[in-house]
Chains A and B, each alone.
Chain A
Amino acid sequence: MDQVSAKQDDVVLSVKDLTVGFGSNVVLDELNLDIYRGEILGFVGASGTGKSVLMRTVLRLLPRRSGAIRIFGVDFDKATEEERLRLDMKLGVLFQHGALFSALTVKENIQVPMREYLDLPQAMMDELARLKIELVGLAPEAADKYPSELSGGMIKRAALARALALDPALVFLDEPTSGLDPIGAAEFDELIAKLRDTLGLTVYMVTHDLDSLFSVCDRIAVLGNKKVMVEGTIEDMLAFDDAWVQSYFQGKRARSIVRNA
């Protein structure tokens, strides 16, 4: 707990009393969440509890009923146009299915945000795109391929490279390891941890992958009953008294990971 209070000034993303609903259906009710600089936060919850809704609301893709969202201490509603632009440049998002632009090559996909936000010569953008491709562990030949020519794992890596194009400080990952084989998933986890260490990223990761939760996440938050039920380390999860959390973290699959760890 000391560690957490020491980091209090370093809140990168803070969500206060957030309420989101569609029609008469309230999905998130007065939800609170803080993310600290340099951590990897794993976000779990049963299907349909609103993990994606929360992420999309934070990214302002969905409207909210009430509550405040502050990213790097800036309230988006009160920000000026220029502050908003600066804020957008600090965010990177990896969508669940990659969301790469299918009409552009991987290299061009990575260069889209560079082209829009920065004023760099083409040669420099090419070089930076190739650097990003190398950083996420893709073969250099992938640069000129179209998304439809890539495998699932390569699409995730290419999408991560695009998310990192502007060197964001906060990265949102929506189920980054879903659809990858266990070895590929483990490599991806390592990659995220390595990028966090070298680039000083803060990572918000929605995931169902127990391996990721156990191996790379510093903190875990569980969404349930329209709120964050519990947040803390993996030990806190194992000790928490709730049927869903218990069966999630102490189920057969989880136990074998704990035993092997």
Chain B
Amino acid sequence: MTAAARTSLDIATESLPGNCGEIWRLTGEWVNASAVAASKRLEELGRGQGGALEIDLSGVAAMDTAGAWLLRRAITERQAGGADVSLTDREGANYADLISALPEKLAEPGDGDGERKTLFERVFEPVGRVMVEVWDDTVAAMFILGSAVRGAQLKLGRQSGLSPAAIVHQIDRMGVRAVPIILLMSFLIGAIIAQQGAFQLRYFGAEVFVVDLVGILQLREIGVLLTAIMIAGRSGSAITAEIGSMKMREEIDALKVMGLSPIGVLVFPRLVALTIALPLLTIIANFAALLGAAFVSWSYSGITFDTFLSRLREAIDLSTIVSGMIKAPFMALIIGIVASVEGLKVGGSAESLGRHVTAAVVKSIFVVILVDGLFAMFYAAIDF
């Protein structure tokens, strides 16, 4: 079959003797690909003016539901106008059967809410929705925190639901495997801060104070903040994806009907693991950053490692280290809870999984930075 024959479809019309109706002789292929042409040709023929209509299908090369449906629609229209329609087929073809097997018209779906909203409603409805959502998130976060504290499972006669194996496994995944990237990132951050600090302090002839700058900044703020952001991206997204896909496949429901609390079984070990892993990672990050800073101070400003160390000892005290480290468990809890809340909100579709993973990472990074700011204000207020 050539390409030309494929698309050429036509209807030749003839009047019946005595002008009591007409005959349509259909030719060509009445298929999906030619549906536009078919629809146009049928529209040209119009509604007719009653009387008999004979449709001769013997010239049709091929017909599928699209072609048959267009004819069916035209026939229904003619019949509504009082025409008497008959179909004749070629020997061995069943196009007429196909046409008559189709429904006369498509059922209309029930009316949706067609009401137009007022401007006030259209502006404030989304605002209200966001507020309710924030409140729901808060309640869900409190629920998760509470359930996690309450313990893992409801087994009869067993007090503790702590499962060390699960926690150690999670620490390995979220903590140990994050060590290389945290090391590399912090080393570079420390080096960059030291380099920029050294360049600026050089104007004042106070290059050696770059050690104070890097030491205090890294230990109080940057170390825990960047580690938390990295872990939010790395482990927060993993937690949401894991819990979300378990939710999608009814695994969460399976846990519930077994009498296990999904929060206890899934969220609790991850929360505990994060709370242990994040402070440890922060310590590693701090060491790496100071090493990076020492290296850059030596190569750009000629500050030897001995000078660096003695200057560092003078610049920082225990409170500098503690004020940074205190924040780490809070950050870990925030990341874990936000990721779990988003994971449990995943619906049935792959798209919703993606949306909630994104939301988990964005929200946890935002809250981590917000809380870091609150801590800074708090420390300033109590002069810590």
Contact = CB atoms under 8 A, between A and B. Distances in A.
B32 A102 contact: no
Which residue, of B32, B33, B97, B347, has the highest number of chain A Cβ atoms within 10 A? B32
A4 interface: no
Interface stretch (A43-51, A125-133, A203-211, A253-261): A125-133
B103 interface: yes
Contact of A167 (B65, B102, B347): B65
B318 to A, nearest CB: 53
A241 interface: no
B19 interface: no
B65 A131 contact: yes
Given A120-B36, A167-B64, A199-B64, A130 B350 contact: no
A114 interface: yes
B157 interface: no
A143 B109 contact: yes
Interface string A124-168: 100110111011000111011011110000000000000010110
Interface string A174-218: 000000000000000000001001111000000000000000000
B279 to A, nearest CB: 39
B113 interface: no
Contact of A147 (B33, B64, B66, B348): B348
B349 A131 contact: no
Contact of A102 (B94, B98, B110, B351): B351
B268 interface: no
A121 B36 contact: yes
A102 B39 contact: no
Nearest to A150: B348
B347 A148 contact: yes
A118 B32 contact: yes
Interface in B68-86: 69
A102 B65 contact: no
Interface in B157-173: none
Contacts of B33: 118-119
A119 B65 contact: no
A203 to B, nearest CB: 16
A97 to B, nearest CB: 11
Nearest to B64: A167
Given A102-B348, A102-B351, A120-B35, A140 B65 contact: no
Contacts of A131: 65, 69, 102-103, 106
B109 A144 contact: yes
Given A131-B102, A147-B348, A167 B110 contact: no
A194 B103 CA distance: 14
A103 B351 contact: yes
B31 interface: yes
A166 B97 CA distance: 19
Contacts of A121: 36
A106 B142 CA distance: 37
A102 to B, nearest CB: 3
Interface in B250-269: none
Nearest to B112: A144
A146 B348 contact: yes
Nearest to B348: A148
A116 to B, nearest CB: 12
A180 B2 CA distance: 44
A34 to B, nearest CB: 22
Contact of B66 (A140, A148, A149, A167): A167
B142 to A, nearest CB: 28
Contacts of A144: 109
Contacts of B98: 198-199
Contacts of A120: 32, 35-36
Contacts of B103: 131, 134
Contacts of B35: 118, 120, 124, 128
B206 interface: no
A102 B350 contact: yes
Contacts of A146: 348-349
Contacts of A102: 348-351
A131 B101 CA distance: 12
B65 A135 contact: yes
A149 B36 CA distance: 33
B107 interface: yes
A192 to B, nearest CB: 14
Contact of A199 (B36, B65, B110, B350): B65
Interface in A91-131: 102-103, 114, 117-121, 124, 127-128, 130-131
Contacts of B102: 131, 135
B170 to A, nearest CB: 29
Contacts of B31: 167
A112 to B, nearest CB: 14
Nearest to A143: B109
Nearest to A130: B106
B344 to A, nearest CB: 16
A147 B101 CA distance: 28
Contacts of A197: 94, 97
Contacts of B314: none
Given A121-B36, A131-B102, A198-B94, 11 more contacts: A102-B348, A103-B351, A119-B33, A128-B65, A134-B106, A135-B65, A140-B106, A141-B109, A147-B349, A164-B65, A167-B31
Nearest 4 CB-CB pairs, A to B?
A: A148-B348, A102-B349, A167-B64, A103-B351
Interface of A: 102-103, 114, 117-121, 124, 127-128, 130-132, 134-135, 139-141, 143-144, 146-149, 164, 166-167, 194, 197-200
12 contacts: A102-B350, A120-B35, A124-B35, A128-B32, A128-B35, A128-B69, A147-B349, A148-B347, A148-B349, A197-B97, A198-B101, A199-B65
